[in-house]
Amino acid sequence: MKFVIEKKELSAISSLVYRAASNKNTIPILSGILIQVSKEKGLTMTATDMDIGIIASTQNIEILDEGKALVNAHYFADFIKLLPDGTVIIELNMEASKLNINYGRSSGFINIYRDFEYPNLPLEKMEKKMVLPQAVLREALRKTSFAAAANHFRQVFTGVLFDLAEDNQLKIVASDTHRLAYFNYQLDNDNLNPLSFIIPIRTVNELLRVLNEEEEVINISFSENNVIFHKDNFILLSRLIEGNYPNYKQVIPSTSTSRVLIKSNSILNALERAKTMPTDDKLKIQHVQFKFNENEVVINAYSEIMGELEEVIEDVQIEGEKEVKIAFNTNYFLDIAKIMQSECNDMEISLSGAIGPAIIKNPDNNNYLYVLVPLRTGN
For residue range 193-231, list pLDDT tens digits in order: 899 999 999 999 999 999 987 778 999 999 989 999 999
Q: Angle 117-120-124 (CA atoms, 0-180°, nearest 5)?
A: 150
Identify the pLDDT of residue 206.
96
What is the mean pLDDT of the segment spanning 71-100? 97
Same domain for 103 and 148, yes or no, is: no
Out of 205, 230, 249, pick the residue that ends a domain. Answer: 249
Lowest mean pLDDT, pick from 2-11, 112-121, 289-298, 309-318: 112-121
If phi over 0 gives left and psi between -120 and 50 gives alpha, with beta otherwise, what is residue 331? alpha
Number of domains composing the chain: 3
The answer for residues whose C-beta is within 8 angstroms of residue 185's C-beta and 6 or more apart is: 132, 136, 140, 169, 170, 172, 367
Same domain for 69 and 38, yes or no, is: yes
Q: Terminal CA-to-CA distance of the chain, rounded, Å?
A: 71
pTM more than 0.85: yes
What is the mean pLDDT of the segment spanning 21-45? 93
Helix (H) or strand (E) holding 265: helix 264-274
Same domain for 240 and 265, yes or no, is: no
Domain membership of residue 244 (yes or no) is yes
What is the mean pLDDT of the segment spanning 77-99? 97
What is the mean pLDDT of the segment spanning 75-102? 97
- Model confidence at 282: pLDDT above 70: no
Same domain for 95 and 140, yes or no, is: no
Q: Residue 29 sits in a domain of what CATH number?
A: 3.10.150.10
Q: List the domain range (segments joined by +) for residue 63.
A: 2-111
- Model confidence at 21: pLDDT above 70: yes
